[in-house]
Amino acid sequence: MINSYSSTNRRSSSAFGHNRSRRTSRYSSGSWGGGGRARRRNPYRGDFISHEMYVSRATDTTTSQENMYERQMTFSDFKLNPKLLKNISAHNYIHPTKIQAQVIAPILEGRDIIGQAATGSGKTAAFLIPIINALLNDPAKKCLVVAPTRELVKQIQTEFRLFAQNTFINDVLIVGGASYSTQIRLLKRNHQFIIATPGRLIDLYKRQNVILEDFDIIVLDEVDQMLDMGFIHDVKLIISKLKSTRQSLFFSATMASKIKEIANSLLRNPVTFELTQQVAVKNVDQNVVKVDSSKGKIETLHELLIKTEFQRVLVFSRTKRGADEVALALRKKGHKADALHGNKSLGQRTKILSMFKRDEIDILVATDVASRGIDVPDISHVINYDEPATYMDYIHRIGRTGRIGKKGCALTFI
Ligand code: AMP
């Protein structure tokens, strides 16, 4: 038996019932499933996720913050270009995170990297910092970063521009759903850094607007997601066209056999590192909410959202249509909510995300794919309105709250 979080309980969100030895806790709305059955078929992919896996108390955030950083190190310990160091400190990065401490030096040395990277671990800066250093030291060098979604690609560009400020390194963003002519015009300009989603990159390669053989450094980010999204042939094609003397950096949350096969075809004597997903979500309080069928899911969600501690909330829906329906139902109840999914245009998605960041929307209802790479600070709660298909999806979802060193909260409707 597990104690669930009650939507009608007016106590603070820290009031989680974790004492599994008691039949009901003060905070519990009862048991689920009858007889303490802890496994059931996931509704839409046939995976089994134990509901107990959705329940965990956050460890002390000061502790997890300690775990996240290498506090005995600072960025000036790396031999970095002074302009870059200045931009890093202007961005208030003082100590490197664990991944950064592990990979920056080998990347600076030109080594290949294969990393099982946790969400929210500081992975983006771990590859951007040494890459920008290399591009600054050699203006003839070029780097290509390939990532699964437009949001992630945009986010990488934003972080790139913070660190590459005042350095004259030009970047080009290549994503589907945006104008070809603008991208082609930018590609004709002198540029050292391209960030792309696989589909549009291949399109532009076939039209000879991008020469894949030109790149000295290649980064494949969130490879597991690229494969899940059906990009395997695009990824293989990209790899097959790269120059043989390239440096390759490879990041994936999982290392399934197909992913290893791609890694082997890309990498040469790579430095390997692994940060388990669990490390990244130790600072997230996790619990289940048992939905009372007489009340329904929307009402249960509404009762949670009116609580003061639910300030900036990311709600996960299984389908695009479901996301639209939940957002609409919440708006009807007076919430500032909108939906984010793959059927929205790039312009709409960018606008919705920036409204969420500016608090013009405080509830974002998203599908898994659309949420990849969302890095919105201070998301107080992630709510799994629909259960995730896999435990890895669950980890990705809840990694959107409790970003580096902050405590987050994740609730899953069952
Ligand atoms: P990522 O895992 O790359 O998505 O990074 C998660 C968040 O941590 C982003 O908002 C980064 O800006 C932030 N971050 C990454 N590295 C550091 C650092 N060394 N110091 C402070 N914040 C960081």
Domain CATH code at residue 28: 3.40.50.300
Statement to judge: residues 389 and 373 lie in one domain: yes
Statement to judge: residues 240 and 174 lie in one domain: yes
How close is the Cα of 134 to the center of ligand 1, in Å? 20
Statement to judge: residues 245 and 186 lie in one domain: yes
Q: What's the pLDDT band for 2 if we cut at 50, 70, 90? A: low
Q: What 3-state DSSP class applies to 143?
A: strand
Statement to judge: residues 295 and 369 lie in one domain: yes
pLDDT beyond 60 at 28: no
Torsion over CA: 284, 8, 23, 290 (sign): negative
pLDDT tens readout for residues 126-179: 999 999 999 999 999 999 999 998 888 998 999 999 999 999 999 999 999 899
Computed over every residue of the chain, the mean pLDDT equals 83
Q: Which of 252, 274, 296 is the last residue of a domain?
A: 274
CA distance 201 to 181: 14
Statement to judge: residues 74 and 122 lie in one domain: yes
Statement to judge: residues 158 and 227 lie in one domain: yes
Name the residue with higher pLDDT: 109 or 347: 109
pLDDT of residue 164: 97
**273 Cβ neighbours under 8 A, 6+ residues apart:** 99, 102, 103, 113, 114, 115, 116
Where is 204: in which H helix or E strand?
A: helix 198-206
Which residue's alpha carbon is at the smallest distance from atom 17 of ligand 1? 122
| Tokens at 147, concatenated | 């990532």
Q: What 3-state DSSP class applies to 32?
A: coil
Q: How many domains, the chain? A: 2
Q: Which of 248, 274, 300 is the last residue of a domain?
A: 274
In a domain, 62, yes or no: no
pLDDT tens readout for residues 47-75: 567 787 788 777 655 445 555 778 889 99
Closest to 363 (Cα-Cα) out of 327, 399, 395: 327
* Least confident span in 37-41, 82-86, 136-140, 246-250: 37-41
pLDDT tens readout for residues 268-297: 889 888 765 445 567 888 999 999 989 999
Atom of ligand 1 nearest to the CA of 155: 4
| Tokens at 199, concatenated | 């589909």
Which residue's alpha carbon is at the smallest distance from atom 15 of ligand 1? 122
Which residue's alpha carbon is at the smallest distance from atom 13 of ligand 1? 122
Statement to judge: residues 28 and 93 lie in one domain: no
Atom of ligand 1 nearest to the CA of 97: 19
CA distance 54 to 62: 22
Statement to judge: residues 26 and 95 lie in one domain: no
In a domain, 63, yes or no: no
Statement to judge: residues 41 and 153 lie in one domain: no
Domain encompassing residue 361: 2-56+280-413
How close is the Cα of 310 to the center of ligand 1, in Å? 23
pLDDT of residue 48: 66
Rounded to 10 degrees, the C-alpha dihedral 317/321/327/329 comes to -110
Atom of ligand 1 nearest to the CA of 159: 12
Distance, first Cα to last Cα, the chain: 13
CA distance 382 to 305: 11
Which residue's alpha carbon is at the smallest distance from atom 5 of ligand 1? 122
**Residue 371 φ/ψ, nearest 5 degrees:** -85, -10
Atom of ligand 1 nearest to the CA of 404: 8
| Tokens at 353, concatenated | 């995300």
Average of per-residue pLDDT across 382-386: 96
Which residue's alpha carbon is at the smallest distance from atom 20 of ligand 1? 93
In a domain, 378, yes or no: yes
Average of per-residue pLDDT across 36-47: 43
pLDDT of residue 98: 84
Q: What's CA 268's distance to the chain center, in Å?
A: 27
Q: What stretches of 121-173 show up as alpha helix (H) in DSSP?
A: 123-137, 150-163
pLDDT of residue 272: 86
pLDDT of residue 400: 85
Task: Classify 222 in phi/psi space as left (phi over 0), alpha (psi -120 to 50) or beta.
Answer: left
Where is 218: in which H helix or E strand?
A: strand 217-220
pLDDT of residue 99: 87
Which residue's alpha carbon is at the smallest distance from atom 11 of ligand 1? 122
Atom of ligand 1 nearest to the CA of 93: 20
Please write down the long-range contacts of 178-182, taking CB distance under 8 Å and 24 or more positions apart.
178/346, 180/204
pLDDT beyond 70 at 246: yes
Which pTM value belongs to this model?
A: 0.69
Residue 11 and residue 27 in contact, taking contact as beta carbons nearer than 8 Å: yes
CA distance 124 to 160: 9
In a domain, 101, yes or no: yes
CA distance 201 to 45: 30
Angle at 373 between CA 277 and CA 156, to 5 degrees: 115
In a domain, 64, yes or no: no
How close is the Cα of 112 to the center of ligand 1, in Å? 22
Q: Which of 249, 274, 299 is the last residue of a domain?
A: 274
Statement to judge: residues 185 and 165 lie in one domain: yes
Q: What's the pLDDT band for 392 if we cut at 50, 70, 90? A: confident
How close is the Cα of 123 to the center of ligand 1, in Å? 7
Q: What's the pLDDT band for 118 if we cut at 50, 70, 90? A: low
In a domain, 288, yes or no: yes
pLDDT tens readout for residues 184-215: 999 999 999 999 999 999 999 999 999 999 99
Give the residues across from 384 on adjacent strands. 316, 412
In a domain, 135, yes or no: yes
Which residue's alpha carbon is at the smallest distance from atom 18 of ligand 1? 93
Atom of ligand 1 nearest to the CA of 119: 2
Name the residue with higher pLDDT: 315 or 349: 315
CA distance 104 to 397: 27
CA distance 223 to 220: 6
Name the residue with higher pLDDT: 133 or 122: 133
Pocket probe for ligand 1: among 66, 124, 131, 221, the residue whose CB has the most ligand atoms within 8 Å is 124
Statement to judge: residues 96 and 24 lie in one domain: no
Statement to judge: residues 221 and 306 lie in one domain: no
